[in-house]
Amino acid sequence: MQRFVNNQKKYFSNNKGIIIIVVFIIIFLSPKKSYSNNCLSFLPYGYNDYYVHLPLSAFFCVKQGKIINNYQTDNYGGRLLYSEASNNKIQVFGDSQVLGLDIENIEQHYLYNMYKKNNFIIYAAPNNGPYEVINFLNKNKKILQKKIIVTFNFSTDIYRIANYWEPKNFVALREYELDEILEHPFKYRLIIFKNLLLNKNFTLSRYDNKKMKNLFLNSNHDKIYNNLIKYFDTLNETANKLNLEIDFIVTHPYWAYSIDKKNDKLLLDKELNEKIEKLICNSFKSTKKINKILISGASETLQLKDLTFDKRHLKSNKVKLKKYEQACKN
C-alpha cells in the first residue's frame, strides 16, 4: 500500500495540470444530483480527525446507475436498518463493505441471517479504517451497548492499519461540511477541486482488481501479519477498557477473484486465497472479550454482476459467514 501511495504522489506530480483539467471538466460539467428523483449521485461522508462518518441525523438517497438507495442516520451518523419484527438493536462498526452500498432494507444485509432478532445501527463509511473504528469507540463510549459487532474488510483494511494510512488523503469532506453538501450538492465539486489543488497527497484514483491483487502479492506478508496482530491486540485492549463484548467479522477481498470479462464471471484465485486465509486464521484468535469470530467464505465462481456498482465490493447477498472454527479448520 505504501507503494500505492508513492505511485499516486508521483503520478499526480507529473500529470497535475492534466488531472486538474480533466477533473474540472468532470466535476463541473457533470451533474452531482439526479434532479429527476432528487437523489445524490455520490455518497456523502466526512472526516473529523478521528473517524469517517455519514451525515448526522439525516435522510437522503443516493443514485448509482439505475440503483437508488435510501439512507437514514442517527445523531452520530449511524445508518439505521430496521425491521418491524424486532425491538432489539445491535451496533455495527466498519467501512463501506458493511455499510451496504447495494441494499435498501435490513433483510438484504449479509448480517441479517446471523442476527435476525436485531435491528442494525451501522457506524460505517468509505475509508473508515480499523483504527478509526477504535477512535469512534473511545470518543463515543457513552452510547455504546454492551455487545457490538466490529467488521474488518480484508480488501483494504490490511493497508489502513499501516502507519502511513491517512484518511484525509482519500476523504474529500470534513465533518462540518456534510450538512451544507446535503443542502447544496454542487459544492461537493468545489471541495473536490480544492483538495486536488491544496493537498498534494489527495487522490480520487483507486487501484483496480488486478492492481490490488498484485499489491498484495508484492507486499511484505510478515509486516502485514504483525500489523494485524497489533491491531487486534489494540481492539481487545479497547474492549477490556470499555467493558465491551465484540463479535468480530472478517470479509474476503473482492480482488481474490480474477475477472473473466468474456463470460462475465469472477474466478477465485485459489493460491491467492490460501495466502489470504492463512493470514486471517493466524492473526485473529478469540479472546475473552472477542469470543465470536465470523469469516466470510469464498465461492469458487461468481458473476461479474455480483460486484457492486463501483466494482470494489462484493454485493451483500454474496457474503456468507462461517464460524472461525469452520473457516479455519484446515
Beta bridge partners of residue 294, listed in sequence order = 249, 323
Full strand arrangement of the beta sheet holding 59-64? 33-34, 39-40, 59-64, 67-72
pLDDT tens for the 330 residues of the chain, in order: 555 555 544 544 555 454 455 544 444 444 444 434 589 989 999 999 999 999 999 999 999 888 899 999 999 999 999 988 778 999 999 999 999 999 999 999 999 999 988 999 999 999 999 999 999 999 999 999 999 999 999 999 999 999 999 999 999 999 999 999 999 998 988 888 887 887 766 766 677 888 999 999 999 999 999 999 999 999 999 999 999 999 999 999 999 999 999 999 999 999 999 999 999 999 999 999 999 999 999 999 999 999 998 889 999 999 999 999 999 987
pLDDT, residue 5, reads 53
Look up residue 127 and give its amino acid: N
List CB contacts of 314: < 8 A, sequence separation 6 or more: 97, 251, 252, 254, 302, 306, 307, 308
Nearest to 47 by CA among 154, 159, 176: 176
The position carrying cell 470479509 is 251
pLDDT, residue 252, reads 96
Look up residue 82 and give its amino acid: Y
pLDDT, residue 197, reads 84
pLDDT, residue 196, reads 81
H helix runs in 185-308, sequence order: 187-198, 209-217, 221-242, 270-283
> Is 188 in a helix, a strand, or coil?
helix
Estimate the crossing angle of helix 221-242 against helix 130-139, to 10 degrees. 10
Largest CA distance in the chain: 56
pTM: 0.87
pLDDT, residue 17, reads 52
The position carrying cell 491486540 is 233
Structural element, H or E, at residue 325: helix 324-327
Structural element, H or E, at residue 27: helix 16-29
CA distance 241 to 179: 33
Quote the radius of gyration of the chain (alpha carbons, Å). Answer: 19
pLDDT, residue 256, reads 96
